[in-house]
Structure 1
Amino acid sequence: MLKKKRLILLSSIFAIGILLAMNYFVGRGHSIDKFSDPIQERINEIEKEFDEDFITLLMNNRPEDTLNFSKLIIDNHHPYFLFDASDQLVFWSNFLHSPDLENIDKSRAHQLYEDSRAIYYLRLRNVKRAESTYWLVQLYPLNYKREVQNDFLRTGLNPELFGNNRVQLFSEADALASAHLKSIKGEYIFSIRFESGYQPVTKEKNITLLVFFFSLLSLVVILGYGLVSTIWYKGKRNLAIVYSLGILLTIRAFMLFFHFPQDYFDFELFDSSKYASSWFNPSLGDLLLNTICSLIIFLLILAVFAGKSFQQKFNQFRSRFKPGLFVFLAYTGSTILLMLFYGLYINILSNSQWDLNILSIPSFDYFKLISLLIIFFGGAMYLLFSILGINLVLSGEKIEKIVALRILLYFSVPVGVFLGYYNWVYFIAFSAHFILLFSIISFELYKNIFKLGFNTFLTFFFGCLIGAVITGIASHEVFLERQLQAKVRFGTQQLVENDVMAEFYLAGIMERIKNDLFIKNTLIDPFQSNEAIERKIRKFHIINYFDQYDLRVKVFNAIGDNVIDRLSEEKLQDLRMAYIKSDNATSVRDLYFVKGLEEGFGNRYVVFIPLYRDDNFIGTVFLELRQLKIQPSAVFPKLLMDRKYNVNYGERDFDFAVFEEGRLSYSVGIFNYRALDLEMFQTNPKLKSSGIYLRKYHHLAVENEERMVVVSTPVYPVYYILADISLFFVAFIILTLLSILCFTLRNGVRNFNFNYATKLQMYLNFAFFFPILIISLIIIGLLTNSYREELHRQYFQKASLVGDNLSAVLERQAIGEADRDDFVEMVNNLAGTTNVEINVYDSEGHLLATSQPNTFDKGILTKYINPRAISEVIEKQNNRSLLEESIGELNFKTVYLAIRSSDSQQIRAIVSIPFFESESELDLLIADVLSNIANIFVLIFIIFLFVSYFVSKNLTFPFNLLTQKLKNTDLDSNEPMYWPTDDEIGLLVNEYNNMLFKLEASKKTLANTEKESAWREMAKQVAHEIKNPLTPMKLTLQHLLRLQTMGKLDDTEKLKKPIETLIHQVDTLSDIATSFSTFAKMPLPKNEIMDFRIVVQESIELFKNREKGTLKLEDKTNAVPLMVIGDDQLFGRVIANLIINGIQAVEPPKKPKIEVTLEVKDESKVVLKIKDNGKGISDDLKDKIFIPNFSTKSEGSGLGLAIAKRGVETAGGNIWFETELGKGTTFYLTFDLTSQ
């Protein structure tokens, strides 16, 4: 049967391999249809979504209704725009795109449309509402043409439609095109050409492969489980582990080699872009499967370790070595698993795109849940091995606790000292490991995992706490490592001295100045004051970031003369010769960086901006920006940051100091470097390697030949570390309880019977755990809402401050006291003061001014307001509104504030202030609340565990007392209990005491009854004892009668023996009568040394003269004395009774045949066997043979064998029998031989 199972299992496994191989090699080739069909299907879906949006619009806006934003805003799939008959935009659903109807072919309903922002699939419709005709334009972006590429904005082909950028788009049917995409009705839309290396966006969904694979996998699992279980229960556990390992390794090897399922199906869990660490763990799903397989094998191995047979073999094996060796090896193995468990967490966080700590909880997703599950499995293996490994080496050949603890100390101290010197994080993790091992030995925790009780829960909870400490410390190490790398990057960037943000902003400023018509017209107009050019550049083009720079502006005409200061002898050519050098060049053309080498001269940026009009060179704008100070708190819009610039974004909050030649040059931030002993501070060797901790800050130095930059950050709050530990502790407890629940359900709930104390402790803990969990969640929800409202209040407060200031400028502008440049200057000033980005729109939603023109110049936003702001502020007349917005992958909140005129209260402008950090700020506040609640929750939970333990002990004390009293309750001496209160326990104690009083009364009644019963019993026993001597006396007298008949009474020799027998039996009767007369008791046995052979021979001599039947004695003792201690008369009566019973067991006409055998066993015991040839004893009577008053004979008293058993056992011997129906019974008597 096993061979058949093995064959089917092997065939199924190879079938999986063949299935994957066929799909892997056959499916590697891709045809054009396989590439284009998914794109065509998606285009058709998009067309249907266009239709759904269109129908919803028509349903919300009746033909006779006037169009307004409130009704036109719907929950749409794709952006849409309405143009009137004059091609003017009247509605836009999206402020990220802005099509131009003049560039759209109105004759085509479906077409490819391209502008400066993207290439779109466009759907054009004609709509009539309120007797007016409108054009409805719906867009789906195919290719983004943004200048900025970062983590939030897409650039290139739309990844939802195309797998990669190896595709070309054509608006007309081209001969080079690979496929032509059409609408559902067959109208041509655009063409595509696939280039070499193209990969489709989605994997081909091969349902047949999926069904076959999981069918075969299910078959392998069922067969494999059955085979392994059969082998396991047959006792071949090592072979079962080998089979399990082979099955799991083979399946995993097939999946890894053929890249299943990641190359076949779109499962995010198996997406290597989310997590990938090695070929063996190419995704988080693979890591989960590998961990589960490892856990299965590990549990099987631990089950072998826990088995008694393995422990016996191990005890025999280790007897050849010193006991402490295996204790040391157990510690070493546990420590290795600690390192693997610790490294597992580091591995996940180092190779994934997410964090796993208290700060990541607001963005918790199933990737983090799977990561927690994997870490839990790793921790379970570490904990179980530590407990079972120590149990294995401490069991059998008992090693005292003090010895095991001493070895643990010898093992841990050197490791702890090394780690304490090398890395304090590792030291804390190892200290937790030491506490675990110490507790396992001291409290014998290994005794708690073999039976499910409250101590089992406490053991697992303690293991969860140790695992949480280790994981929390690992989390802190990841944080420190990332922070160290960030400091190195930041410090290196500071050493380079280039201000990447300044270069980024200057690139945009240069482009705007090149396209500024006012500057060009002013430069070539001889009647205009050229000083206006400088004012325009300073007020309009230079943003707040450059407040930390001293700006010089020079304008030169086409021949190189300074048109602002004509008396200056400084020529353009001289400036070019001085600054245009390869050493000063930057990544931006015409922008140069000049390092400040002389004392008192900071770094400078020099800009040459050539101006052209109608392709004619008309002049040059020269800008010189000299760095004065550093402003670390300046606002950096994440959307504007290209990936090449934002390497150090997010690291701008670092404090840092620059040292030159050992002297502090300058510092930025809160930390006071001047209060330090700078010489000692700079010479600390750890400052440049791992960093040092000083004054609640961590400092790290990065240096080159000329300068040293010290980067500082506040120490990571301790309560955050504790919160991480609390988070993992709660997660591990929940997963542990779920694991125990699954184990309980698998084995059957009825198989687990908890005692009252365990139930009480569990109820107490659950009664605490769930309410406080619910309360914590409620508090988190309430505080989150409170923090959200507070943030919103702060946003509105900032918006009101900006609005009040801008309102005054608009009032002045309305009466002609200020122009647009003054308004733009005020916008920039307010943005710098309030540290926010400000956009101002007119009442129709068109942009008036902005503090971040790059956002619009680079095509990130259009110059149209969010349409929902028009609805809320203009149409609904709300003074302010807070809207949730998103640009690409960035989610944020924006405040829109109406600025009204002072007289008519008409809306003159709408102020828009986006808060890009709103989501992260709220997440940080939520994490802060979570950390405090988690710490309090875990602290109270641990305290309550101890409290519940002692409370349950106190509550169960009365029951334990009652149990002990009930155990000692008998008829002799019972003491009443005392309980001080009249509660339920008091009532129970009173009932117990009443029971004792009733028991005392019953005892007297029972004593009288027992006396009467004892007299009757004695009478039966005496009668039986008298009857035994009478039988041989009767036989002897009958023998004398025969002698008389034969005339041989005169022979004295023949008369002597019978007469002696009669005298002996008369003496026995006399002894019985004497004993009965004293107190009607059986004769008290005597403990005297006797020769057991003589007793046997004398007893057999009584039955030798019996005519009916034979009696044979076989002595196998070689005639050696058989000295035993006992009563010879008692032994004689027992032997005589057994012989009589044997004779009476033979039914006529069969003659009795009694065989008596005497032998010595093991030179220490004498054995007497009395065998008859009677009818035997049936199975239903075997257990009743030695019971008093039980007899198979009608005339029997039922006391003979009972007396025999009591007499033999009183003398220290044993009596038993063997029987076979129809063949007879053999009674055995054994007594210990004495050397006396």
Structure 2
Amino acid sequence: MSLRHSITKKELLVHEAGKLQKNLATNERLVYDFLNDVAQVEKAKQYHLNDQYGLAFINKYRDKGINIFTYQDNKLKFWSYNALIPPDPDVIKEGSSFSQFANGWFEVIKKTTGNYALIFLLEVKNQFSIQNQYLENDFSPYLSNNNSLSLATFIDPEVQGISNLDGKIIFEVKLKSTYSRSVYGTIELWLWIVGLFSFCLFFNSFCGWLAKRGNLVPATILILLFFVTIRVTDLEYGWFNKQFNLPIFSPKIYAESFFLPSLGDFLLNVIAITWVVLFVFTYNDKYKLPGWLTRSKLGGLFFHFVLLLIFGALAFLFDRVFLGLIINSKINFDITNIINLDGISWVSIIVLCLVWFNIYLVANIFMQQTLQLNVTNRERAILFLAAFFACLIYKLGTGFSIFFIAYALFIFIIAWNFYIRNNGFSIGIFALLFFCLAFISSVKYLRFIDEKEHVNRFAMAQRLIASDDFTVVSTIENLERTILANKVVLSYFKNPGVNSPIELKKSIESDYIERYLPRFEYNLYVYNHLDSSAAGIQNIPLSYFKNLVKAGSVKVPESNYFYRLNDTFGYQNYFGIIPIYEENQILGTLVIELKSQLYNYKGQLPEILMDRSIKNEDNYSKYSIALYKDDRLEGQSGTYTYKLSSDGFATRNNSVSFLKIALIIRTSFIFLRLQSSS
């Protein structure tokens, strides 16, 4: 904490800007070294004629964020960068300058030799009109790779100038408001880890000292309360897990409840439990049961039964927690493709291993305590088998699972090794235990993935039969509000004779429709205050849309002017009748008509051109979908071949049912049936 507070925001800005300045200066020197080499300049003039020369430049400089455009008689001859329209050489001044182009900011270095002009573009910062996982408006990774800076404006109070090699400030930067990382962020993290670990070791030593003095139960309670206090206060106030912007503490990856708000907290919880269990395991042989319990045969059998119930509760807890981990996360658990597992996946595997390690330790602790009881191994075996067959009969009636048998075998092997072999070490025993744990984990993983798919299909089917899409409704509400406040729209309706309706349409399309509602086909209609169509716009009378409202179109929730057409199963068709006012005087009416495209419409934008604010996370490509109307197949998509009749698909109207079909192997499908009104 002292390390973090010893560094001010200004010092942090100077540090980050200094790294950017150093990297930019390195790239500038490379360019000037190139321009001072006559042989290199002559080669540059031949890039468009000699492929090898051009490829050599690209291979050497592109990875450093340095690009070149060559011109002869002001005509573009060669370019190594295709993310922007080539600049006009006449508007670029000689030497170094800082310019903004369509997709970003660049330092531009120009040198003219005879009728040739060489223009170098040094990437500084991206400036894309849309942002997603592929396109980010950050500084070039060749200059700054920690996403800490942004370009400053003249109103920003704390800025740092970035100069070229001539000493001239070409732009200024500031710290992002969301950036809180220290210069010594990695060191600070490890100091936290070492400090907490040392503090836990100290408290563990203190509790161990109490245990050796005969205060075993108070020591156990004390170390348990210590770790409970640490974890609960951290979950409530975030004094550790919110200090660092680490991916494992992000709720976007995994979040389930107060006690499991992130994968990192899950890991810390398991580590705390493991520490307490290891403490109990260390002093396992020193715990003493009451004398009346150790002498009673019936009491001993009942105590064994209670321990078996606890084992069952642990299995249930294991089942629920890891089911939630898979359903409520975006973590890749596919261990069959182990090369593609990332750090988050490996953390999840470590958590699983620690949980199994705890169950093994708890089993040994329980069995060590039962040695004090007046119960023979034969009686233990009879009690275990009786409980096993009772659970087996119950499972056969409620839903059999192989997990139950594998878990019972796991307990039996531990008990046999403990009671019969006196807990001796054996590679064969541990191999069998490892096989049981691996088998249980794989079986549970497959079932959990199946349940997750079940949940996803149910949500998908609900969306398919739902009248409105929440995302679309929210976007329409925002569209309506922003259009009413748009100065371009208001300017057109105030002076329709001066402004072009075509330009108005293009403005609305580029600013709103194409950006936020790309999966809709759209039409725009403009009407004056007399409800007459404006010239240049497709002529549909305003009364047509008003009659749609009268005919039963449904008002879009949270919207004042948008409606959804009724009885359009499989499609979502909206229209908005937006009156344009100025000082309570109506200037005209703008109508926006939206028609949804098919879910697999080939003309939709690819992901790289889809803004993250409107990107749909649903992936229907692996599903086969069929639509039946009046019990006959209307259409289908996907690899599965459906029957012409819906016989065998018995469902209630407006409901979701799950059907098991023996012919489908590893195929996901969705079946929709539409009943006629009659």
Normalised by the length of structure 1, the TM-score is 0.41
The answer on whether the counterparts of 1:633 and 1:653 sit within 8 Å (CA) in structure 2 is: no
1:400-419 equivalent positions in 2, closer than 5 A: 400-409=379-388, 411-413=390-392, 415-417=394-396, 419=398
The answer on whether the counterparts of 2:626 and 2:633 sit within 8 Å (CA) in structure 1 is: yes
Aligned with 1:151: secondary structure?
Answer: coil
**For residue 1074 of structure 1, what is the aligned residue in structure 2?**
none
Matching of residue 480 in structure 1 with residue 450 in structure 2: yes
**For residue 674 of structure 1, what is the aligned residue in structure 2?**
643
Q: Which runs of 5 or more structure 1 residues have no equivalent in the other structure?
A: 1-19, 508-548, 553-558, 564-570, 609-621, 708-1236
Q: 1:434 aligns with which of 394, 408, 415?
A: 408
Change beyond 3 A, Cα 1:579–1:146 = farther
Q: 1:117 aligns with which of 91, 97, 103?
A: 103
Matching of residue 339 in structure 1 with residue 320 in structure 2: no
Aligned with 2:383: secondary structure?
Answer: helix
Q: 1:151 aligns with which of 129, 133, 140?
A: 133
**For residue 44 of structure 1, what is the aligned residue in structure 2?**
21
The answer on whether the counterparts of 2:294 and 2:300 sit within 8 Å (CA) in structure 1 is: no
Identity percentage of aligned residues: 15
**For residue 106 of structure 1, what is the aligned residue in structure 2?**
93
Shift of 1:626: 11
1:470-869 equivalent positions in 2, closer than 5 A: 470-495=440-465, 572-574=539-541, 577=544, 583=553, 637-643=606-612, 646-647=615-616, 649-660=618-629, 665-674=634-643, 678=647, 681-682=650-651, 688=656, 691-697=658-664
Change beyond 3 A, Cα 1:636–1:670 = farther
**For residue 136 of structure 1, what is the aligned residue in structure 2?**
120
Change beyond 3 A, Cα 1:461–1:623 = same
The answer on whether the counterparts of 2:277 and 2:361 sit within 8 Å (CA) in structure 1 is: no
The answer on whether the counterparts of 1:60 and 1:72 sit within 8 Å (CA) in structure 2 is: no
Q: Which has the larger radius of gyration?
A: 1
Q: Distance in 1 between matches of 2:434 and 2:191?
A: 40
The C-alpha deviation readout for 1:396-447, integer Å capped at 9, x for no partner, is 4234255213431365146524650xxx6xx343333233345555x45554
1:933-972 equivalent positions in 2, closer than 5 A: none
Change beyond 3 A, Cα 1:444–1:502 = closer
The answer on whether the counterparts of 1:585 and 1:592 sit within 8 Å (CA) in structure 2 is: yes
Matching of residue 78 in structure 1 with residue 55 in structure 2: no
**For residue 497 of structure 2, what is the aligned residue in structure 1?**
none
The answer on whether the counterparts of 1:338 and 1:382 sit within 8 Å (CA) in structure 2 is: no
Q: Distance in 1 between matches of 2:342 and 2:420?
A: 38
1:1122-1141 equivalent positions in 2, closer than 5 A: none
The C-alpha deviation readout for 1:129-148, integer Å capped at 9, x for no partner, is 89944121212225x3324x
Opposite residue 682 of structure 1, the aligned amino acid is: T
Aligned with 2:619: secondary structure?
Answer: coil
Shift of 1:227: 4.3
Shift of 1:702: 7.4
Q: Say what the alpha-carbon RMSD is for the aligned residues.
A: 5.6
Shift of 1:658: 2.9
Aligned with 1:136: secondary structure?
Answer: strand
Q: Distance in 2 between matches of 1:586 and 1:156?
A: 37
Opposite residue 120 of structure 2, the aligned amino acid is: L
Q: Distance in 1 between matches of 2:76 and 2:396?
A: 74
Change beyond 3 A, Cα 1:179–1:640 = closer
Opposite residue 27 of structure 2, the aligned amino acid is: F
Change beyond 3 A, Cα 1:623–1:475 = same
Change beyond 3 A, Cα 1:389–1:233 = same
Opposite residue 291 of structure 1, the aligned amino acid is: V
Aligned with 1:62: secondary structure?
Answer: helix
Change beyond 3 A, Cα 1:334–1:579 = same
Shift of 1:330: 1.4
Shift of 1:363: 1.6
**For residue 190 of structure 1, what is the aligned residue in structure 2?**
171
Shift of 1:376: 0.3
Q: Distance in 2 between matches of 1:626 and 1:353?
A: 28
The answer on whether the counterparts of 1:584 and 1:594 sit within 8 Å (CA) in structure 2 is: yes
1:1055-1066 equivalent positions in 2, closer than 5 A: none
The answer on whether the counterparts of 2:326 and 2:449 sit within 8 Å (CA) in structure 1 is: no
Shift of 1:317: 4.2
The answer on whether the counterparts of 1:579 and 1:592 sit within 8 Å (CA) in structure 2 is: no
Shift of 1:375: 0.6
Opposite residue 405 of structure 2, the aligned amino acid is: S
Q: Distance in 2 between matches of 1:224 and 1:602?
A: 64
The answer on whether the counterparts of 1:181 and 1:190 sit within 8 Å (CA) in structure 2 is: yes
Opposite residue 81 of structure 1, the aligned amino acid is: I
Q: Distance in 1 between matches of 2:249 and 2:534?
A: 66
Matching of residue 378 in structure 1 with residue 378 in structure 2: no
Q: Distance in 2 between matches of 1:100 and 1:314?
A: 92
Q: Distance in 2 between matches of 1:253 and 1:495?
A: 42
The answer on whether the counterparts of 2:70 and 2:79 sit within 8 Å (CA) in structure 1 is: no
Aligned with 2:636: secondary structure?
Answer: strand
Change beyond 3 A, Cα 1:330–1:318 = farther
Aligned with 1:299: secondary structure?
Answer: helix
Change beyond 3 A, Cα 1:124–1:480 = same
The answer on whether the counterparts of 2:110 and 2:117 sit within 8 Å (CA) in structure 1 is: yes
The answer on whether the counterparts of 1:83 and 1:91 sit within 8 Å (CA) in structure 2 is: yes
Q: Distance in 2 between matches of 1:597 and 1:211?
A: 59
Aligned with 1:694: secondary structure?
Answer: coil
Shift of 1:650: 1.9
**For residue 159 of structure 2, what is the aligned residue in structure 1?**
179
Matching of residue 62 in structure 1 with residue 47 in structure 2: no
The C-alpha deviation readout for 1:85-105, integer Å capped at 9, x for no partner, is 655444443333445245965
Opposite residue 40 of structure 2, the aligned amino acid is: R
Shift of 1:378: 0.1
Matching of residue 93 in structure 1 with residue 93 in structure 2: no
Q: 1:326 aligns with which of 294, 300, 303?
A: 303
1:148-297 equivalent positions in 2, closer than 5 A: 149-154=131-136, 169-170=152-153, 174=154, 177-183=157-163, 186-191=167-172, 198-200=177-179, 202-205=181-184, 216-217=195-196, 220=199, 223-224=202-203, 226-232=205-211, 236-242=215-221, 244-245=223-224, 248=227, 259=238, 264=243, 267-269=246-248, 274-277=253-256, 283-297=262-276
The answer on whether the counterparts of 1:169 and 1:192 sit within 8 Å (CA) in structure 2 is: yes
**For residue 516 of structure 2, what is the aligned residue in structure 1?**
none
The answer on whether the counterparts of 2:71 and 2:78 sit within 8 Å (CA) in structure 1 is: no
- Higher alpha-carbon deviation: 291-300 or 274-283: 274-283
- Report the count of equivalent residues: 597
The answer on whether the counterparts of 1:324 and 1:407 sit within 8 Å (CA) in structure 2 is: no
Opposite residue 134 of structure 2, the aligned amino acid is: F
Q: Give the helix-richer structure, 1 or 2.
A: 1
Shift of 1:52: 6.3
Normalised by the length of structure 2, the TM-score is 0.69
1:876-895 equivalent positions in 2, closer than 5 A: none
**For residue 493 of structure 2, what is the aligned residue in structure 1?**
none
Q: Which runs of 5 or more structure 2 residues have no equivalent in the other structure?
A: 48-52, 480-520, 524-531, 578-591
Aligned with 2:40: secondary structure?
Answer: coil
Q: Distance in 2 between matches of 1:224 and 1:500?
A: 52
